[in-house]
Amino acid sequence: MVKMILIAIVAPLLAFSIGLSFMMIKRKVVARIQRRYGPTIIQPIFDIMKLLLKEDNISHGVIFSLGPIIAIAGSILSVFFIPIAGLNMLTGSGDLIALLYIMAIGSLGMALGAGDSANPNASIGISRALTLMFGYDLPLVIIVISVALQYHTTDLSAIVAAQANGHWALWSLPLSAIVGFVVTYGALGEHPFDIITAPHEVATGPMVEYGGKHLGFLMINHAFHLYVEIALFVDLFLGGASNIFIFYIKMFAVFFIMMMFDEVLPRFKIDDAVRFFWKWPTVVALISLIIVLVK
């Protein structure tokens, strides 16, 4: 019991610090790619602290204020379902399919809050977010089914255990792994899939009316979101890890490759993004599924 409570406190803190460290490194790496010096490494901490210290916090209604909290709650709940480094928190009581449902809560919380702000930019942004989710969820579900069929289980900790000693799903299911990378990339909303926040088109989309501590909570949620998406990819295809350092290194490797793509690509239109997800990743994921079924 005590151990469970301890894990319940430590796991979100760990997830938050990993996500935050990625946010820090990203600002610096992006600056270096653009041949700038870049901000100090702890700049995201200053940003979050400043937002939480704002004297004014305008709310447009109860749901508007609840939106970021629902989003954080959904993200923290999905942290518990992802096994890291032998810590199986709630993975026993819910499987991969439950996790897929819980991961959608974050976007839905944002949708509720943005809808309550009654700003047209927020409505456009959130409709884009949900449409994009519709786009990348189809290949995601197909690759999750292929991984589950490959290991004859939907228990994420059993999938991690089956990949021990270097028998990664990346080697046995390379096509699914590629699709998984693209889908994770899309879920993080990096270029070219940053249509949701697109500052030049919809003025940061769902966040347009958020300021002060609400925006601070959304930045904290972004750290959790980064962690959840990449940790799921590492667990599914890179075999998890036996300790937290190896896990961090694997996550960082995935994130570093993503940053390289992020800086050189322009932005999709929303219909092009959905068309892309339903064409190439879906077809490749289906081929991978057929290979698993035939084998």
Partner 1 sequence: MEKMTEEQVKSIANMLRKRSLWMIHYCTGCGAMELPPTMTSRYDMERFGLAPYVTSRQADILLITGYLNVKTLRRVITVYEQMLDPKYVIGFGSCTLNGGVYWDSYAVIKQLDRYIPADLYIAGCMPRPEAVISAFRHLMELIDSGKADGYKRYKRNLAYYKENQRKVLG
Which positions lie near partner 1, rule CB under 8 A?
27, 31, 34-40, 43, 46-47, 49-50, 53-58, 199-200, 203-204, 207-212, 215
Residue (203 or 259) nearer to partner 1, CB: 203
CA torsion 41→44→47→51, rounded to 10°? Answer: -160
Instruction: Write down the residue that tokens 């929303």 correspond to.
Output: 270
Q: Quick one: 46 or 245, whose CB is closer to partner 1? A: 46
CB of 113 to partner 1, least distance (A): 13
Q: Which backbone phi and psi does 84 adopt, to 5 degrees?
A: -120, 130
For residue 109, give the nearest of 60, 62, 71, 61 by alpha carbon: 71
Phi, psi of 87 (to 5 degrees): -85, 100
- Per the structure block, which two tokens stand in for 153? 């289980």
Q: Measured from the CB atom, is 216 or 281 closer to partner 1?
A: 216
Q: How far is the CB of 194 from partner 1 (least distance, A)?
A: 13
Give the residue with the Cβ less far from partner 1, 57 or 153.
57
How many Cβ atoms sit within 10 Å of the Cβ of residue 161?
Answer: 16
For partner 1, the closer CB: 50 or 275: 50
| Shortest Å, Cβ 144 to partner 1 | 36
35 by Cβ neighbours in 10 Å (0-12 / 13-18 / 19+) ranks as exposed
Nearest distance from residue 29's CB to partner 1, in Å? Answer: 13
The minimum distance between CB 36 and partner 1, in angstroms, equals 4
